[in-house]
Structure 1
Amino acid sequence: MQDLENLINQAWEDRSMLQQKNVQEAILHVIGLLDKGQLRVAEPLPEGEWKVNDWVKKAVIMYFPIQEMKTIEVGPFEFHDKIPLKKDYASQGVRVVPHAIARYGSYLESGVIMMPSYVNIGAWVGSGTMVDTWATVGSCAQIGRNVHLSGGVGIGGVLEPPQAAPTIIEDDCFIGSRCIIVEGVRVEKEAVLGANVVLTKSTHIIDVTKPIPETYKG
């Protein structure tokens, strides 16, 4: 894996390397690992923090210029894009209601339910989570297990800069209808957000559970 990481980092610094077959194969391999859940853009650490694998995000960014536009036909529907759609949901144990779309390079654990919704490349969605109607999970966002993303929720994608943390929703959270969570905000375990809450890195969050209220951002 270290050799793969080194090659991706070299190509990031010298984009002319994207013309090389071995570099293209390396990028495709990383996206394939993301799609299978064998690699993540960010991963939780035992002490409760998160580690960002910036080289993986670099591979996602460099995936776009090496891909050609193709027509994708799904029954009577047609798309024209560089990234294919995920497939084989039944074998993965994922329920996908018509008009839900997940892009190749995202990962859905067994037990995920997608109502008509959208999950972008690099995202990771844990088992038991429902992505409800018209909810969107942006590029590289990390959604924990047993989460409910209610109707119309927008989880922002964070691709650049590569070292920036993605938007993270940890296990057992309830995110109310039409909430917007962006800019790499982390919502910690078992949090409940009411409808229409907007969280950005500059949002002031006041903790009133302590003797003296404390204010946080993001």
Structure 2
Amino acid sequence: MTQQLQTILDNAWDNRANISAACAPKEVVDAVEHVISALNTGHLRVATRDGVGQWTTHQWIKKAVLLSFRLNDNAIMHAGDLAFYDKVPTKFAHM
């Protein structure tokens, strides 16, 4: 599954100029949503520590995060009396 996600995301990244919130293949949207969900639950990490001062960045996961910004339009977010625009819903929006 991971290799399949990586392939989908790498191909989408290479074609990112043609991807938007209004026009994106379902396969890409599903892959990005899966990665974002796995990041939120801690099952995936964009970077992992290999040792003291040594880190490995997982480029395909980073690409999924960046693609998510292309797949979501700005929306008004509310936090108490504040209102602001963002593309990522706040973690505590349901509270």
Please state which band the TM-score falls in when normalised by the shorter chain.
0.7 to 0.9
1:36 aligns with 2:41: yes
Asked if the contact 2:74–2:85 (Cα under 8 Å) also holds between the matched residues in 1, the reply is yes
Larger Rg: 1
Q: Give the letter aligned to residue 55 of structure 2.
A: W
Q: Kindly provide the CA deviation profile for residues 44-94 of structure 1, in whole angstroms up to 9, marking residues without a partner as x.
A: 12x543211011111111111110111111221111111111138xxxxxx
Which AA in structure 1 matches 2:75? K
1:59 paired residue number: 64
Q: CA RMSD in A?
A: 1.8
Say yes or no: does 1:79 pair with 2:67.
no
Shift of 1:34: 1.2
Q: Which has the higher contact order (CA 8 A, sep 6+)?
A: 2
The alignment's TM-score, normalised by the length of structure 2, stands at 0.79
Unaligned ranges ≥5, structure 2: none
Kept after mapping to 2: 8 A contact 1:71/1:79: yes
Which residue of structure 2 lines up, in the alignment, with residue 13 of structure 1? 14
Percent identity for Structure 1 against Structure 2: 34
Residue identity matched to 1:20: P
**Residues 17 and 23 of structure 1 are in contact (CA less than 8 Å); yes or no, is this contact kept in structure 2?**
no
Q: Kindly tell me the number of residue pairs found equivalent between the two proteins.
A: 87
Runs of 4+ residues over 6 Å off in structure 1: none
Aligned partners of 1:82 and 1:29: how far apart in 2?
17
SS at match of 1:11: helix
Higher strand share: 1
Q: Distance in 2 between matches of 1:87 and 1:28?
A: 18
Structure 2 counterpart of 1:7, one-letter code: I
